[in-house]
Chains A and B, each alone.
Chain A
Amino acid sequence: MTSSRHTAQFTLRHLRALWRQPAYIMMTLAQPLIWLLLFSQLFSRVAQIPGFGSGSYLTYLVPGLVVMTALMSAGWSGMTFIEDIDRGVMDRLLVSPVWRGSLNIGLLVQGACITVVQSAVLVGIAVLMGARFGGGVAGLAAMVGVAMLLGGAFSALSNGFALVARQRESLIGMVTMLTLPLTFLSSVFMQPAFLPAWIRNVSRYNPVNWAAEAARATTQANPDWTSAGAHAVLLLAVLLGCMMLATLSFRTYQRSM
């Protein structure tokens, strides 16, 4: 009861902050839109290679881009913690009986809302460009859900890292060091069958790839709910693990005081 009241307050805090600066969502959209326009053109003929499967590269690409966008914007989640630390907000909260988990969950919910808006924009533009998705609204919703799980996990990781590193530069380094390699070591841009063997092997253990596979599975012509479900369960486990790590990071932060 107490923990849910605390969580509601932090969720409200971060949603209000988002509402007061909608430009933030637009900024995090710029990059994926460029990817969408650029890559769908650049690789449009990849889909014509025998064995690619999907009819259009654009349709293949969008679920992966939705996942990648969620990942990238979730990475910046820890910035809010660093700002809170710099401003004294974090210390004020930590000397109160606040449920530590609510500080994380509030930001995770904010991230989930950002993912909904970003996914809607990406899908909308892709449809205008001619992409066609199977699985209907349920398939698209499941795709967004999977992106949220991945984003949530990365957001928690970012928060935990922020508490330990406490510096913007370190967080920027961590995010850039992880997001692009994780994305390229997956099937976001390329059919698994066409990936070099070593990348295909690595991608099996890559949560970004799990999310991309699941997102494509629910939006392809013949949705594969079993595969999507299995991947979603794995992602949920990663999310819970990252949330626990983030909560433990509060102790590391306080121990350094």
Chain B
Amino acid sequence: MTSTSDRSAAIDVSDLVKRYGDKVIALDGVSLEVTAGSVFALLGPNGAGKSTAIRILTTLARPDSGTVSVGGLDAVAHPDAVRRIIGVVGQKHGSDPQATGRENLVLQGVIQGLHGAELHRRVDALLEQLGIGHAADRVVRTWSGGMSRRLDIAMAMVHRPEVLFLDEPTTGLDPEARAEVWSQVRRLTAERTVSILLTTHYMEEADEFSDEVAILDRGRIVATGSPDFLKRQLRGDALRLEFRSDVSADELKGALRRVEGLGDINVSGRWVRARVSDGAAIAPATLAALDGAGLAVASVTISRPSLADVYLRHTGNEFASTEPPQLIAAAI
């Protein structure tokens, strides 16, 4: 850990610890650095500490120990200074459902220091930019989930923040609304004027949008790097086998003992995931060995490692909501 503060870092966190009571350690020495103008994805299973980390970085909660710098400002010592330069889209909708979209946006603008003609110009521009101008004067209660999510983004952006936090911005949205939200995020990231820290449950979102990823598990960062770097680290391809009936790990490992270049075998019911150094060469040997042991394979898929594989490797959990792997070869 270097102690010199990097001027180009939008977020610089070191040795963050947060406990709840005596037993629960939500964050157990987390350090991370987000380069200015980049998109950083924080991934991890539920309860890994993502929300706690976001709450501390956005000044809502205080750490028990560790340092937090956002935009070069100390978030623990000067929370109000940090609050002026950050925008936050929380997990829940942050808008008042009894108020109209415009009223919500004006209130947020005023508490972020805007007023007069400038405020109204900014509000009008944001409503237009996010494609919610037509509904601006209706109370938010009547809006769709995707629309009020875009209002949340507008509210977070009203004061042109330096750092934007997106905490599961697409959870609970239908695919169309998710696409709408991401097209807005894509526009923001293209401009490179704002640094973004996001958490998401969708691996393919993290893969597509982030320059860097950190995987958090039980309060610790277990892997960090660009999505490509992390995928390359896995060395080799992902092999997925489906059997006709449940298989035991012992039975399987016995059968595959002789096959070289096969590792990280993970059994779950009828499904088996493994890592292979060279899929095309090893698949036939694997199938032959299984056939010899009398294990009936229903299907086999070999794919390039995805961020979901990286995630699985580091947390031991499989993301429920990942898209089908890109198919390279299928046999049987």
Once the chains bind, are B111 and A95 in contact (CB under 8 Å)?
no
Query: Is B103's CB within 8 Å of the partner chain A?
Result: yes
Once the chains bind, are B111 and A87 in contact (CB under 8 Å)?
no
The interface-forming segment of A5-13, A131-139, A204-212, A230-238 is A5-13
Question: Which of A5, A88, A257 meets B55, CB within 8 Å?
Answer: A257
User: How far does the alpha carbon of A236 sit from the alpha carbon of B80 in the complex, in Å?
Assistant: 30
Query: In which size bucket is the chain B interface?
Result: 20 to 34
User: How far does the alpha carbon of A23 sit from the alpha carbon of B95 in the complex, in Å?
Assistant: 23
Query: Is A31's CB within 8 Å of the partner chain B?
Result: no
For A95, the chain B residues whose CB sits under 8 A away are 58-60, 83, 86, 88
* Closest CB in chain B relative to A220 CB, distance in Å: 41
For A45, the chain B residues whose CB sits under 8 A away are none
Once the chains bind, are B107 and A92 in contact (CB under 8 Å)?
no
Once the chains bind, are A89 and B61 in contact (CB under 8 Å)?
no
User: How far does the alpha carbon of A91 sit from the alpha carbon of B95 in the complex, in Å?
Assistant: 11
User: How far does the alpha carbon of A97 sit from the alpha carbon of B75 in the complex, in Å?
Assistant: 13
Please encode chain B, from 61 to 94, with 1 for each CB lying within 8 Å of some chain A CB and 0 for all others.
1100000000000000000100110101011111
Q: Return the chain A residue nearest B20 by Cβ.
A: A256
Once the chains bind, are B113 and A2 in contact (CB under 8 Å)?
yes
* Closest CB in chain A relative to B147 CB, distance in Å: 16
User: How far does the alpha carbon of A86 sit from the alpha carbon of B115 in the complex, in Å?
Assistant: 29
User: How far does the alpha carbon of A254 sit from the alpha carbon of B63 in the complex, in Å?
Assistant: 11
Once the chains bind, are A16 and B88 in contact (CB under 8 Å)?
no
Once the chains bind, are A9 and B110 in contact (CB under 8 Å)?
yes
Once the chains bind, are A6 and B111 in contact (CB under 8 Å)?
yes
For B84, the chain A residues whose CB sits under 8 A away are 97
Q: 24 A–B contact pairs at CB < 8 A?
A: A5-B110, A5-B115, A9-B107, A9-B111, A12-B103, A13-B96, A17-B98, A17-B99, A20-B98, A84-B96, A86-B92, A87-B97, A88-B90, A89-B94, A89-B96, A91-B92, A92-B94, A93-B111, A95-B60, A96-B111, A96-B112, A97-B112, A98-B111, A254-B61
User: How far does the alpha carbon of A13 sit from the alpha carbon of B102 in the complex, in Å?
Assistant: 12
Query: In which size bucket is the chain A interface?
Result: 20 to 34
Query: Is A240's CB within 8 Å of the partner chain B?
Result: no
Query: Is B139's CB within 8 Å of the partner chain A?
Result: yes
Please encode chain A, from 244 to 257, with 1 for each CB lying within 8 Å of some chain B CB and 0 for all others.
00000000001101
For A17, the chain B residues whose CB sits under 8 A away are 96, 98-99
Once the chains bind, are B80 and A97 in contact (CB under 8 Å)?
yes
Identify 11 new A-B residue pairs, CB closer than 8 A, beyond the known A17-B98, A87-B97, A91-B90: A2-B113, A13-B107, A20-B139, A84-B96, A88-B90, A89-B96, A92-B90, A94-B60, A95-B88, A254-B60, A257-B60
Q: Do A13 and B83 contact each other (CB < 8 Å), given the known contacts A20-B98, A92-B155, A96-B108?
A: no
Q: Do A13 and B99 contact each other (CB < 8 Å), given the known contacts A88-B91, A95-B83, A96-B83?
A: yes
Once the chains bind, are A97 and B113 in contact (CB under 8 Å)?
yes
Identify which of residues 4-22 in chain B touch chain A, using a CB-to-CB cut-off of 8 Å.
none
* Closest CB in chain A relative to B59 CB, distance in Å: 6
Query: Is B106's CB within 8 Å of the partner chain A?
Result: yes
Which residue, B60, B112, B113, has most C-beta atoms of chain A within 10 A?
B60
Q: Do A88 and B93 contact each other (CB < 8 Å), given the known contacts A13-B107, A16-B99?
A: yes
User: How far does the alpha carbon of A79 sit from the alpha carbon of B287 in the complex, in Å?
Assistant: 64
* Closest CB in chain A relative to B182 CB, distance in Å: 21
Q: Return the chain B residue nearest A10 by Cβ.
A: B107
For B99, the chain A residues whose CB sits under 8 A away are 13, 16-17
